[in-house]
Amino acid sequence: MRALRLGTLLCTLLIAAAASGQEWQPPPLVDSGEREQLARELRAEAASLEGLSRQVRNIARLATPCVVHIDANKVERVRGRAEQFEEAGSGVLVTLDDRTWVLTNRHVIHGATAPQIHVRLHDGRELHPQRIEADPQTDVAVMQVDAEGLVTAELGDSRAVEIGDFVVAIGSPFGLAHSLTFGVLSAKGRRDLTLGEQAIQLQDFFQTDAAINPGNSGGPLLNMRGEVIGINTAIASSSGGSEGIGFTIPIHIAVHVAEQLVERGRMDRGYLGVKLEANFPPEAARSMGLSRPIGALVSGVDPRSPAEAIGLQKGDLILQFNHVEVEDDDHLVTVVGLSPIGQDVPILVLRKGKTYPTMITVASRPTPEQAAGEGSSTRAPIDTVQPYQIDAPVSDR
């Protein structure tokens, strides 16, 4: 009834306006005085936003010449028949060992030879890589290129970024080269992700809501200083397009792998020789005196391994590795796998309510032939190290 009465009143007013010969006009939202005040407020508030806009424009001017578009012509066998297809992706020019390389994702170029890979620079020139190296464990690849006037990117400290930081992604979504998107860092430490057919074993991804689509793979994620803090790698999507969940390899990990690929042609993965329990429920943590599950629970120890050498046992809980608090089993696998081979690393182990600080030497993952050989113990078992009580920051975080 109320809607009917309002409608009747409006019709009456319109009829009255028509009868008087005047065109009916809705009342103004604000009067002239209010409009002037609103304009002043908008101009004042726009200053800060325009500053951010200028920052993003300058990032684009600084970083875009360092970003390349990649086309890889590949051949796959489908039902016994060879089929050709093209994959588009992105990369960023970096300096490694005093030479210029394209840092990208392995999956962008995997299956293509150097003549089948076209690297298009910002100025339109096309290059073929002179050397290609890739690591399937991390999905990192590098390609050496050579041309006049190549501009390499500034690399930032990906360990210093925080959730909520503004970020910029540059790449070739759906083949549209040098596209820029803007967003925030949504999360850190994303691990145990199933990324299509990719079996990426060492994962420690950033998550961002900056739009990332097919073709952005291998391109840079940048901080507000225009420094590369990650290599965009994958998206979580039910539609195949951006849904605001993109995953990025932190640049300190990508560069660590890239340097090994450049130096040795492979990435040697760190190894302790422990089997880890994937299921560490809250009740098990409480029985060990912890308020919640943290650390990596040892379920077995490989013979003739660094872990056996220091006396690690089934049931031990590794709380810290190289002064980094271990979040879970996947976290330990990643930080160990990316640790320099031969490095002596401090670890903190919880056993039967007591913590034991000791050192362990990171080894290279042995081949089957090496695993069958003899080993030697070079460290005292951790039981011989003086224990001390676990402190609150470790047990109650």
For residue 365, give the CATH number of its domain.
Answer: 2.30.42.10
The pLDDT, as a whole number, for residue 194 is 73
pLDDT digits (tens, 9 = 90+) for 297-329: 999 999 999 999 999 999 999 999 999 999 999
Does a structural domain hold residue 305?
yes
Annotated catalytic sites, by residue?
Answer: 107, 139, 217
- Please name which of 145, 81, 79 lies closest in space to residue 109, comparing C-alpha atoms: 145
Are the C-beta atoms of residues 312 and 299 closer than 8 Å to each other? Answer: no
Question: If residue 301 lies in a helix (H) or strand (E), which one and from where to where?
Answer: strand 296-301
* Residue 391 and residue 274 share a domain: yes
The pLDDT, as a whole number, for residue 386 is 47
Spell out, as residue ranges, where the chain has pLDDT lower than 50.
1-4, 6, 13, 373-379, 386-397
| Rounded CA separation 197/207 (Å) | 20
Does a structural domain hold residue 70?
no
pLDDT digits (tens, 9 = 90+) for 167-212: 999 999 998 999 999 999 999 999 877 766 667 888 899 999 999 9
Range of the domain at 374: 270-395
* Residue 281 and residue 209 share a domain: no
10 Å CB burial of residue 245 (0-12, 13-18, 19+) is: middle
The pLDDT, as a whole number, for residue 21 is 59
* Residue 280 and residue 198 share a domain: no
The pLDDT, as a whole number, for residue 392 is 38
* Residue 371 and residue 288 share a domain: yes
* Residue 283 and residue 358 share a domain: yes
Does a structural domain hold residue 281?
yes
User: Residue 345: helix, strand or coil by DSSP?
Assistant: strand
| Rounded CA separation 63/187 (Å) | 24
User: Residue 214: helix, strand or coil by DSSP?
Assistant: coil
* Residue 292 and residue 383 share a domain: yes
Does a structural domain hold residue 113?
no
Where does a domain end: 203, 229, 254?
254
* Residue 354 and residue 240 share a domain: no
* Residue 376 and residue 289 share a domain: yes
10 Å CB burial of residue 99 (0-12, 13-18, 19+) is: middle
| Rounded CA separation 10/78 (Å) | 69
* Residue 242 and residue 293 share a domain: no
Where does a domain end: 199, 226, 254?
254
| Rounded CA separation 191/196 (Å) | 14
Does a structural domain hold residue 217?
yes
DSSP bridge partners of 271:
363
Does a structural domain hold residue 249?
yes
| Rounded CA separation 359/323 (Å) | 11
Other beta carbons within 10 angstroms of residue 192's beta carbon come to 12
The pLDDT, as a whole number, for residue 374 is 42
| Rounded CA separation 324/132 (Å) | 33
The pLDDT, as a whole number, for residue 234 is 87
pTM: 0.80
| Rounded CA separation 393/233 (Å) | 34
10 Å CB burial of residue 304 (0-12, 13-18, 19+) is: middle
Cα–Cα distances (Å) from 294 to 163, 234, 311, 348, 350, in that order, read 21, 27, 21, 12, 11
Ordered DSSP codes for 87-105:
EEEEEEEEEETTEEEEEEE
Furthest C-alpha separation in the chain: 107
The pLDDT, as a whole number, for residue 169 is 96
- Block residue for tokens 């690849």: 141
What is the number of domains present in the chain?
2
* Residue 375 and residue 278 share a domain: yes
Are the C-beta atoms of residues 360 and 341 closer than 8 Å to each other? Answer: no
Beta-carbon contacts of 213 under 8 Å, excluding residues fewer than 6 positions away, are: 173, 174, 235, 241, 242
CATH number of the CATH domain containing 172: 2.40.10.10
- The structure tokens listed for 5 are 């009465």
The pLDDT, as a whole number, for residue 48 is 80
Other beta carbons within 10 angstroms of residue 98's beta carbon come to 5
Cα–Cα distances (Å) from 274 to 206, 295, 312, 325, in that order, read 27, 13, 8, 17
Does a structural domain hold residue 187?
yes
The pLDDT, as a whole number, for residue 370 is 56
Beta-carbon contacts of 90 under 8 Å, excluding residues fewer than 6 positions away, are: 67, 68, 69, 70, 104, 108, 170, 171, 172, 215, 216, 217, 218, 219, 220, 232
Where does a domain end: 223, 254, 285?
254
Does a structural domain hold residue 159?
no
